[in-house]
Structure 1
Amino acid sequence: MSVKHALLALLETEPMYGYQLRAEFEQRTGETWPLNVGQVYTTLTRLERDGFATGEAENAEGHVIYRITEAGRDEVAAWFTTPVARTQPPRDELAIKLALAVTVPGVDVGTVIQQQRSATMAALQDYTRLKRRAVGADPRELAWSLVLDSLVFGAEAEIRWLDHCEARLRRASREQASGTTTPNAQPVHERAADERTPR
C-alpha cells in the first residue's frame, strides 16, 4: 500500500495535519489498514523533502498544517492513472504456509485447509454484515463500501482457492496410492517466461 500517495490524495482535498490525515484515511477505508501516526509524520517529512508537500505555520493547537504542491498534484494524478503493478506478487502468508505444509513431513495439510476455510468463512460473514450497514450516498460511505467489496471478493476467492487446493491434494493422494505420479509442475515464474518467449 502506498501511504505516500494516499496522504497526497487526501492533501489534495484540503490542507491537514498528521492526526487529521490519519483519521481521514482510516475513516475512508473503514479502519481496514490502520496507520501509525508516527508513520504518517515520517511520510509527511519525506513528502516535504521530495517537494510534494509543504509544512506551514502551526495552527492554534500547535499542529503543523501540510499543503500539497503542484509537484504533489502531478504525483497524485500519475498514481491514479497508473495501474497497480502485478509483476511482483505481494507475499501471501497463506499460500506460503500451504506450499510449505505439503513439503514438510508430519503436517496434516487437510486440517490446515479446513481451519483456514472456517476462519475465512467467518471473516466473509463479518464483511457481509458490515456491507449491509455501509449504504448511503455519502462519498465516504461509498469509499468504505468499495473497500468492503474488495474484502468480500478476496475472501470468496480465497475459499475457492482452498477448495481447489483440497481437490488437488485428494487427486495427488489417489495418484500416489495407485502408483501413477505426475511430473513436477514447472514454477509459475518459469512458465510465464516460457509463455512470453516467441516460438
Structure 2
Amino acid sequence: MTVKFTILGFLYRKNLHGYDIITEFNELSHHQWPLNPGQVYSTLERLERDGLVTSLGENEKGRIHYQITQAGREALFDWISSPVKRPLLRDELYMKFLLAESKGLEGIEELLQSQKELILQQILLLTDFKKTIDHKHFKKIIYGGLLHLEADLKWLEYIKDE
C-alpha cells in the first residue's frame, strides 16, 4: 500500500486534515492496516512540496486542511488505473522450502505442517471477521484474502503429494 496515493484518494472528494485522514483510513480498513500518523503528516508535506496538494491553512484547532490539486488528481488516476505487479516467486515460504529441499536442511516437515495450521487459523479468523462486516467493499477484500489462503493450502498439499 502506498500512503501517498491513499492520502490523495481521501482528498479526492473533500478537503481534510491529517487527523481526519487517519480516522477515515482506520474506518475504511476496519483497523486492519496500521497507519503511522507521523508518516501521514510527513507525506502531506511532501505532497504539498511536489504540488499534488495545497494547504488551505489552519482551522481553529490548529489543524491544517489540504486540498488535492489537478496534478494530484492526475497522479491519483494514473496510480488507480495501473495494474499492481505482484511478486510471482519471491516469497519467504518459497525460499524456506527451496533451501530446505535443495540443501537437505532439517525442519521442512515441521515448516509445512505449521504453515498449514497457520493458514487454517487465518481462514477461520477471516471467516469470522467477514461475518462482522457490513461494508460490501471490504467483504470483497476479505474474500480475496481467503482465496489467497486457499491457494497457499493447495500448494502445500501439492508439495506434500510430490
Q: TM-score, normalised by structure 2?
A: 0.90
Deviates more, 1:15-24 or 1:98-107: 98-107
Residue ranges of structure 1 left out of the alignment (5+ in a row)? 136-140, 169-199
Aligned residue type for 1:65: H
Residue ranges of structure 2 left out of the alignment (5+ in a row)? none
Aligned residue type for 1:100: L
Matches of 1:89 and 1:40, distance apart in 2: 30
Deviations 1:56-96 (A, max 9, x none): 2111211111111111111111222211124x558422222
Structure 2 vs 1, CA of residues 90 and 110 (structure 1 numbering), >3 Å: closer, same or farther? closer
Any idea what SS the aligned residue of 2:12 has?
A: helix
Return the offset for 1:28: 1.0
Return the offset for 1:122: 0.5
Structure 2 vs 1, CA of residues 35 and 112 (structure 1 numbering), >3 Å: closer, same or farther? same
Name 1:149's counterpart in structure 2: 143
Q: Give the number of aligned pairs.
A: 162
Structure 1 consecutive aligned stretches of length 4 or more whose deviation exceeds 4 Å: 88-91
Q: Is 1:131 the equivalent of 2:151?
A: no
Matches of 1:142 and 1:4, distance apart in 2: 25
8 Å contact kept, 2:56–2:65: yes
Deviations 1:77-120 (A, max 9, x none): 1222211124x558422222222232344422111011011011
Deviations 1:148-197 (A, max 9, x none): 112111111111111122223xxxxxxxxxxxxxxxxxxxxxxxxxxxxx
Return the offset for 1:6: 1.2
Matches of 2:89 and 2:53, distance apart in 1: 29
Matches of 2:52 and 2:89, distance apart in 1: 27
Matches of 2:129 and 2:74, distance apart in 1: 35
- Aligned Cα RMSD in Å? 1.8
Percent identity, please: 33
Aligned residue type for 2:97: L
Structure 2 vs 1, CA of residues 104 and 82 (structure 1 numbering), >3 Å: closer, same or farther? same
Deviations 1:13-70 (A, max 9, x none): 2111112212212221222221111111121112111111112211121111111111
